[in-house]
Amino acid sequence: TWAPVGVPKQNTVTCIGRICNEAHEGKINSTSLLLEGSRQHSSGSRIHLDPTLIPSYSLFPGQIVAVEGINSSGRTLQASRLIEGAAPSLDTSLASELMEFQHGSIKGMNGMPLSIVAMSGPYTTKDNLEYDPLVDAILKISEDKPDVVIMCGPFVDVRQPLV
């Protein structure tokens, strides 16, 4: 079972959390390692992570790990085992399925390439908030009918004088 981060235990526990760097900048090292528990199980608590008993490890800020060890003080987890996330299994498709999807006429692409439109804001002009550039883009999209539209912000420029 999983133990909450930050709760003292005299026996070996397994905690799940995210690796954080106490320094907030610079390279992560064994003295700046923190383990942040989830909000649901640990209320977002952070404790120091001491990996000195682990012969070799490679960690980065934001990495989700399970750590087995002893947390006798509630402030430092003396790690004895580090369990990193397993990569998800690769989805596989048969070549015949891919060819049918790309060139089949029933539910596939009918031999046509994937059409993608990507655009970024701001979608207003400097002198008004009428969203004229956005309206023009939507008209062009409705005319061309791409398969995917990716819109990035900002929708309004932060320096817009009318805001």
| 101 Cβ contact list (under 8 Å, min separation 6) | 107, 108, 109
Residue 161 is predicted with a pLDDT of 87
Residue 88 is predicted with a pLDDT of 64
Tally of CB atoms within 10 A around 85: 10
Residue 37 is predicted with a pLDDT of 92
Both tokens of residue 58?
């490679």
Residue 103 is predicted with a pLDDT of 78
Residue 114 is predicted with a pLDDT of 84
Instruction: Measure Cα distances from 67 to 17, 20, 23 in Å.
Output: 8, 14, 21
Task: Give the Cα separation of 111 and 104 in Å (integer).
Answer: 7
Residue 112 is predicted with a pLDDT of 80
Burial readout 110-128 (b: 16 or more C-beta within 10 A, e: otherwise) = eeeeeeeeeeebbbbeeee
Both tokens of residue 109?
């692409």
- Beta strand residue intervals within the chain, DSSP E: 9-21, 33-37, 46-50, 64-71, 76-84, 116-120, 148-152
What is the value of pTM for the model shown?
Answer: 0.53
Both tokens of residue 100?
């049918």
Contact 19, 33 (CB under 8 A): yes
pLDDT < 50 stretches in the chain: none
Instruction: Measure Cα distances from 55 to 58, 64, 80, 85, 99 in Å.
Output: 11, 19, 9, 18, 48
